[in-house]
Structure 1
Amino acid sequence: MNFSQKMRSFTVLALFACIAITAATDKEFECCKEISSERITLPITGFKVQQARPPCVKAIIFYTSEGAVCSHWRENWVMSKVIELRKLQAVIKRLKMKTTTTPQTDNSTLQLQ
């Protein structure tokens, strides 16, 4: 094999290796292509804001016990739920910071794990 054939073979091998590595490390990607205006009745465990990047549309992705639900970001109930969840996140974050940074000397104080 001459140098150009070896180089071509190496290039093809490198391309296949890159494709295999990308496929193996590719994380599960959620993308809302359609959105719903219906209120969610299941307990919501979290959310994510999705920006519009075609084919994905701008949406709020709510996580429930039965999976992800793509909701219309302009609905009043959606924005109220996002504000509620952000306040809850802030409270939990403050409690975690307080319990991890404040020395506890009183055994009667509630400690979060």
Structure 2
Amino acid sequence: MTTRGSDLPVSSNAMTGFALVVHEFVTNAAKYGALSTDTGYVDLECRDYGDTLELVWIERGGPSVTPADKEGFGTRLARTTIEGQFGGEIVRQWHPEGLVIRLIVPKGRLQ
């Protein structure tokens, strides 16, 4: 796993929800995605756009991916947390070479 980008403070009130979402991403990557293979990796980038934070999760080197037939509990929980608690947006893109997830969150909701 590689990480890069801006370091931004996250309040204790926002930390639990944010950590829960990232934990869901890691769990899914380990079960079904790039982290389920010896050659897979995750590239995580944090982008600061002034009033908005974008967290980009890119999986590569794992099995070919396709969209799930239905939204599971963890996916619903992540979406509800990002949209409800943080007033943000979660965007998933399934590419044959790996999953890309973008979290777009107003920075004010993280402090």
**TM-score class, shorter:** under 0.3
Structure scoring higher RCO (CA < 8 A, sep ≥ 6) equals: 2
More strand by share: 2
- Tell me the TM-score normalized by structure 2: 0.23
| Structure whose residues are more often helix by fraction | 1
